[in-house]
Chains A and B, each alone.
Chain A
Amino acid sequence: MAKLHHRTPERIAAALVLAVAYTVLLGPILFVIVSSFDYGQRAYVVFPPERFTLESYWRIPDRYWDALWNSLRIAGLCTLASCLIGIPAAIGIVRSNIPGKAAILAVFRAPMQIPAVVSGVAFLQLYYALGAATGWYAVGSFTGMVIAHVFAATPYVVGTLVGVLQRFDQTVEEAALVLGASRLGTLWQVTLPMLKPGIFAGALYAFMISFSEVPMSVFLAGSHQVTFPVEVFHSMQFDFEPTILAISTIVTVLSLVVVWAVQRVVGLDKFVKTGAAD
């Protein structure tokens, strides 16, 4: 097959787009990492940093570590549950010929546009009403937080997969033709591999939503469990602490390690690339 070839202006355009996007995405994070090495007993951030020390890292309070561990568990469970709900939902919507598909999709997507403060108060009210009726209070509990996060994260799994399946459905013939595959073979050799990146993106975002959600979680955090971004938010509201930058840097490094580990063990490319489309 002929290799796709690039022309110089196209290369420049591509490089420019990448440069803008990655500056926007990584700029604030680079700032956080660089500033984390400048520690002072003070309530503000200085950029560029005036010195280099690891002191912020030694001083990270235990509450950040506790919250981080709690957030990882919540986000992990939330991702699992969101995928269990979202994957069959997406396949079901696109493949079935049930009437009112657009309305059904709107139901799945609704949590996205409900302002988080409304969801926070609404879940609080629901949990108290549930508590009054059953004697079991989800307020401030781990379970209560996970349920609310699943509510917020599932639309991302559904949305991503519907996007992928939509594209896929229209070109199923083309793709099968290109590959010279049979109808049945298409399902196993084309559909599932093609869904993989979508599932990966959806799951990743479900994790991320749970891991970075603040405005809803502030209502649902309890005395025994606070999520990491809520802990950071509370600190920022009262007084800035340089240790926030240090723990945020650690989170960035941890996420890099996880990505690297996935790449080494499973192969990230296996996750995100589809063997079928080439």
Chain B
Amino acid sequence: MKARWDIVLLPPLALSVLLLLASQIIFLKGSLHRDLGMGQFDPAVGLHNFIEIFTDSYFVQSLGLSIGVSAMATVLTLLIAFPVAYVIARTDGRLSIVLLSAVVVSSFITIVIKVLGLMMIFSSNGPVNGALMALGLIERPITIIGTLPGVVLGLMYYTLGFAILLFYSVIVTVPRSLEEAAQVHGASRWQVFRQVVLPLCLPGVAAGGLMIFNVSMGGFSSTALIGAGKVLTLPVVIQRTVLLETNYGLGAALAVLLLTVVIVINGCSVALLARARRGMLV
């Protein structure tokens, strides 16, 4: 019985490994060679690029910044997406379809255009600042352009729609009858959510959370546009190193660093979660 699933897994795995190796290996092997400019390399293998990365606090700082904004974006997305997905999943009839459709439709516009929309919404005389100032909550207009919160918001844009759909598909697998049973025994809706739904969905939430984090770690477009050149996360630095400095060796080494760190973070999370809930795979 079990062996059959191995056979199902092997072809897609072989294909994915092939695609991953074939595409990345030419680029990443540049990390082991001294860059001679314009994509040319010294044939001698060495760790020159990695030494450069680790002897310069700037790159480590940039990595730290990436992890920070990605973690914040992940937490924020989880906090919004999971409750929303839960409400949709437990809403009956037409309304749930409308809510889901809205999520789908919102994902079709490219982030480049959405950023333009965000700029107008958060303009100093735009609706957000207008409302906040009218309510007396702020004295001076706030902006998201060139700020850390703005970059986090931009990353959230990238993953929120996906996260809602993902959590929705996880939550609908939780039988409603379990919740009903709990409620019959006097639990409040909040208690049901916290003590029944959340624990049952935890593997899905963890898987989703890690996905959001991974996507955020690689995020570029919204960070570059909303960060306005002030928030230099590692993907932004890599883009500059490759395109503007044409230093493919250092760019590849930074990509290796980013990949390694993300894989390590994923591995640690899996190990931690597995300890919390034996046998679970995220």
A residues adjacent to B (C-beta < 8 A): 1-7, 10, 14, 17-18, 20-22, 24-29, 31-32, 35, 45, 47, 85-86, 88-89, 91-98, 101-102, 104-119, 121-123, 125-126, 129, 147-148, 150-151, 154-156, 159-160, 162-164, 166-168, 170-171, 174-175, 178, 194, 197-198, 200-201, 204-205, 208, 211-212, 214-215, 228-229, 232-233, 236, 244-245, 248, 251-252, 254-256, 259-260, 263, 268-269, 272-274, 276-278
Q: Which of B84, B100, B174, B204 contacts A166 (CB 8 A)?
A: B204
User: Quick one: given A2-B180, A95-B5, A106-B267, are A113 and B218 in contact (CB under 8 Å)?
Assistant: yes
B109 in contact with A32 (CB, 8 Å): yes
User: Which residue in B87, B173, B217 is a CB contact (below 8 Å) of A167?
Assistant: B173
Choose among A45, A159, A215 the residue that contacts B221 (Cβ–Cβ < 8 A): A215
Assess the A104–B104 pair: CB atoms within 8 A. Answer: no
A17 to B174, CA, bound (A): 21
- Stretch of B41-49, B55-63, B163-171 with 4 or more beta carbons under 8 angstroms from chain A: B163-171
Choose among A166, A208, A214 the residue with the greatest number of B CB atoms under 10 Å from its CB: A166
Chain A residues within an 8 Å CB radius of B100 = 268, 272
Can you sample 17 A-B contacts with CB below 8 Å? A2-B183, A4-B189, A14-B87, A24-B156, A25-B103, A28-B116, A89-B16, A91-B8, A96-B5, A105-B281, A116-B220, A164-B204, A170-B203, A205-B165, A229-B110, A252-B105, A268-B97
When the two chains form their complex, are residues B84 and A117 in contact, meaning their CB atoms are under 8 A apart? no
Assess A125 versus B8: contact at CB under 8 Å? Given A107-B20, A201-B165.
no
CB nearest to A267 among chain B residues: B97
Chain A residue at minimum C-beta to C-beta distance from B280 = A166
User: Scoring B residues 210 to 240 as 1 if CB is less than 8 Å from chain A, else 0, what string do you get?
Assistant: 1100110110110000000000001100110
Interchain CB contact under 8 A, B112 and A156: no
Smallest distance from the beta carbon of B20 to chain A beta carbons, Å? 6
- Beyond contacts A24-B156, A119-B23: 4 other A-B pairs, Cβ-Cβ < 8 A, are A3-B180, A47-B126, A115-B234, A204-B165
In the bound assembly, the distance between CA atoms of A175 and B15 in angstroms comes to 34
Q: Does B50 contact A (CB under 8 A)?
A: no
Please name all residues of chain A whose beta carbon is closer than 8 Å to the beta carbon of B148 when the two chains form the complex. none
Alpha-carbon gap, A163 to B280, bound state (A) = 11
The closest CB in chain B to the CB of A127 belongs to: B23
Q: What residues of chain B lie closer than 8 Å to A194, measured between beta carbons?
A: 172-173
Cβ-based interface call for B194 (8 A): no
CB distance from A3 to the nearest CB of B (A): 8
Task: Establish whether residues A85 and B12, one from each chain, have CB atoms under 8 Å apart when the complex forms.
Answer: yes
For the complex, what is the distance from the CA of A150 to the CA of B15, rounded to whole Å?
A: 11
With known contacts A89-B13, A112-B218, A21–B176 Cβ distance under 8 A: no
Which residues of chain A are within 8 angstroms of B252 by Cβ–Cβ distance?
Answer: 118
- Contact check, A229 vs B200: say whether CB atoms are below 8 A apart: no
> Can you list, as one digit per residue, whether each of B78-121 has a CB less than 8 Å from chain A (1) or not (0)?
00110110010010000011011111111111111111111011
Please tell me if the beta carbons of B203 and A166 are within 8 angstroms of each other in the complex.
Answer: yes
Contact among A88, A97, A151 for B23, CB-based, below 8 A: A151
Interface residues of B (CB under 8 A from A): 2-3, 5-6, 8-13, 15-17, 19-20, 22-24, 26-28, 80-81, 83-84, 87, 90, 96-97, 99-118, 120-121, 123, 126, 153, 156-157, 160-162, 164-166, 168-170, 172-180, 183-184, 188-190, 200-201, 203-204, 207-208, 210-211, 214-215, 217-218, 220-221, 234-235, 238-239, 242-243, 248, 251-252, 255, 258-259, 262-263, 266-267, 270, 280-282
Q: Which residues of A contact B104 (CB under 8 A)?
A: 204, 255, 259
Q: Which residues of B contact A114 (CB under 8 A)?
A: 24, 218, 255, 258-259
- Are A25 and B102 interface neighbours, CB within 8 A? yes
- CB pair B204–A21 under 8 Å, yes or no, is no
Contact residues of A: prevailing secondary structure: helix
Instruction: Pick the residue among B112, B157, B215 that contacts A112 (CB under 8 A).
Output: B215
Q: Is the CB of B2 within 8 A of A97?
A: yes
Would you call B164 and A21 a contact (CB within 8 A)? yes
Which residue in A112, A160, A269 is a CB contact (below 8 Å) of B214?
A: A112
Asked if residues B208 and A107 are in contact (CB atoms below 8 Å), the reply is: no
Please name the residue on chain B nearest to A24 by beta carbon: B160
The residue from B16, B180, B221, B266 contacting A4, defined by CB atoms under 8 A apart: B180
Q: Is the CB of B178 within 8 A of A92?
A: no
- Residues of B near A122 (CB, < 8 A) are 23-24, 26-28
**B105 near A255: Cβ-Cβ < 8 Å:** yes
B221 touches A214 (CB 8 A): yes
Query: Across the interface, do A244 and B113 meet the contact criterion of CB distance under 8 Å?
Result: yes
Q: Is the CB of A112 within 8 A of B211?
A: yes
Give the distance in Å from the alpha carbon of A38 to the alpha carbon of B9 in the complex: 53
A29 and B106 contact, CB distance less than 8 A: yes
Query: What distance in Å separates the Cβ of B35 from its nearest Cβ neighbour in chain A?
Result: 14
Q: Which A residues are CB-close (under 8 A) to B10?
A: 92
Residues of A within 8 A of B165 (CB): 160, 201, 204-205
What residues of chain A lie closer than 8 Å to B201, measured between beta carbons? 167
